[in-house]
Amino acid sequence: MGGRCIGCVRHRGFGSGRRGDSQPRGRAARNPGPRSASVARGRWPGRARGRSASQPAAPRGRGTRGGRRALRPPRAATGRRRAPPGGGAAAAVSRFREEIAEQVHVAQRLLQLGAAAASSIGERVRAAPQRGFVIAARGSSDNAALYAKYLFGVRNQALVALAAPSLFTHYARPPRLNGLCVIGISQSGESPDVIAVVEEARRQGSLTVAITNEGASKLAHAAELVMSMEAGPELSVPASKTYTASLLALALISQAINPEPAFAAALASVPDAISRTLEREHDLAPLVLPLMGPRAVVLGRGFNFSTAEEIALKLSETSYVLARAWSVADFEHGPIAIVEAGLPVVIVDARGRVASDLESVKARLEAKGCHVLHLFDVSGLPEELTPIPLAVLGQLLAHQVAVARGIDPDRPRAIQKVTRTW
């Protein structure tokens, strides 16, 4: 019994290789029992022409259209998109999907235009060695900060702490920040609590950096140094290109602090890695059906613990799946007790130094009858940069699940593009 693998090098072709993995027709095809299977590049075993057996059946509606059931026009208040499950028209018109595709060009632009800003930041850090970094962020930007915790820790051997903004706002008891480089990450640059952290750090004399997509924002004005994401307007509520731009900006800063030719070459290949990841979109179709339920678990470790957090966030906000992310190490310290047969568990795997831990927990989950959905990286990038293509893969998966559930991924309910918290 193997996990459903996306992009595993050793499973290219037909995944598990068992032709018996195809879903039976009828009710069982829509609600399979607890099991695992593998899928990689190529055709899914037993897939018939037309709707894949792994895809959910079209929702019932009145009347038929071309021999297929027609969908009822949804109520305007639901925010649901009129589209067949698994893609089709919704995928063509979704702004979220369009912005996912723009990430190749965003990465190219950031590598070209962001080098000077990253170099300036690196020079300042080296000129006055810092005791460490404090990073303030919310939402997807907070997941980027978690990535920096591992990136700066491994590449720069620096201590990284994630700020608790309420210490600066509600409690008005900010910690002493002298000798620390304080970074604020916000795509809009307008989150008051993130701005408050950077303002206080600058007042205390700390080196302050803003990573934002809005160069004229309050955050940009609050910080001494600014690095633009160069992502262009992001209109869909869920962050896509601004998230990966944040990761790439942090990687450029890390490289500027401790230059390394091999890492510089890897950075230059990031746009191609994103492009190859986008080509794998159809490989994700078999993973959609298990995620049609109300909850899911997403696991990662090391650099891709942040990716697990980001994928869980995307599933929650675009598809209304109650998704929770854990480090596999933390997961085995208690949360694994929630596991039961049929629970979908996404494992984010860069095939790096933590691969053995992921394989171990995967075996335990499969033994318990979970739907193990294994996202592999095949970009060829060093482990430090794999969170970028794996985040793109997670965005594509979240988009497919949202469309299959009939939800408009551009406008999730109860969420605004610019969120102001204190």
Helix H, strand E, coil C: the string for the chain is: CCCEEECCHHHCCCCCCCHHHCCCCCHHHHCCCCCCCCCCCCCCCCCCCCCCCCCCCCCCCCCEECCEECCCCCCHHHCECCCCCCCCHHHHHCHHHHHHHCHHHHHHHHHHHCHHHHHHHHHHHHHCCCCEEEEECCCHHHHHHHHHHHHHHHHCCCCEEECCHHHCCCCCCCCCCCCEEEEEEECCCCCHHHHHHHHHHHHCCCEEEEEECCCCCHHHHHCCEEEECCCCCCCCCCCCHHHHHHHHHHHHHHHHHCCCHHHHHHHHCHHHHHHHHHCCHHHHHHHHHHHHCCEEEEEECHHHHHHHHHHHHHHHHHHCCEEEEEEHHHHCCCHHHHCCCCCEEEEEECCCCCHHHHHHHHHHHHHCCCEEEEEECCCCCCHHHCHHHHHHHHHHHHHHHHHHCCECCCCCCCCCCCCCCC
Is 50 exceeded by the pLDDT of residue 276?
A: yes
Is 60 exceeded by the pLDDT of residue 312?
A: yes
Q: Quick one: CATH architecture of 103-267? A: 3-Layer(aba) Sandwich (3.40)
Q: Could you tell me the pLDDT band of residue 421, with boundaries at 50, 70 and 90?
A: low
Provide the pLDDT for residue 419: 60
Is 70 exceeded by the pLDDT of residue 277?
A: yes
Is 60 exceeded by the pLDDT of residue 119?
A: yes
Q: Determine the Cα–Cα distance for residues 60 and 55; give it in Å rounded to an integer.
A: 15
Q: Do the two domains 1-17+36-41+79-102+268-412 and 103-267 of this chain adopt the same fold? A: yes
Provide the pLDDT for residue 413: 80
- Of the candidates 98, 115, 414, the one whose C-alpha atom is nearest the C-alpha of residue 232 is 98
Query: Distance of CA 15 to CAs 2, 86, 276, Å?
Result: 9, 21, 19
Provide the pLDDT for residue 27: 38
Write out pLDDT tens, residues 171-204.
999 999 999 999 999 999 999 999 999 999 999 9
Is 50 exceeded by the pLDDT of residue 295?
A: yes
Is 60 exceeded by the pLDDT of residue 22?
A: no
Is 90 exceeded by the pLDDT of residue 40?
A: no
Cβ pair 286, 123 in contact under 8 A: no
Is 50 exceeded by the pLDDT of residue 236?
A: yes
Stretch among 17-21, 82-86, 94-98, 379-383 having the lowest mean pLDDT: 17-21
pLDDT average, residue stretch 219-226: 98
Q: Quick one: CATH architecture of 1-17+36-41+79-102+268-412? A: 3-Layer(aba) Sandwich (3.40)
Percent with pLDDT over 70 in the chain: 76
Provide the pLDDT for residue 402: 96
Domain residue extents for the chain: 1-17+36-41+79-102+268-412, 103-267
Q: Could you tell me the pLDDT band of residue 82, with boundaries at 50, 70 and 90?
A: very low
Q: Could you tell me the pLDDT band of residue 90, with boundaries at 50, 70 and 90?
A: very low
Which residue type, as a one-letter code, is found at position 327?
Answer: S
Provide the pLDDT for residue 411: 84
Q: Could you tell me the pLDDT band of residue 6, with boundaries at 50, 70 and 90?
A: low
Is 60 exceeded by the pLDDT of residue 41?
A: no
Q: Could you tell me the pLDDT band of residue 145, with boundaries at 50, 70 and 90?
A: very high
Provide the pLDDT for residue 80: 42
Is 60 exceeded by the pLDDT of residue 138?
A: yes
Stretch among 50-59, 108-117, 208-217, 235-244 having the lowest mean pLDDT: 50-59
- Report which of residues 206 and 81 the model is more confident about: 206
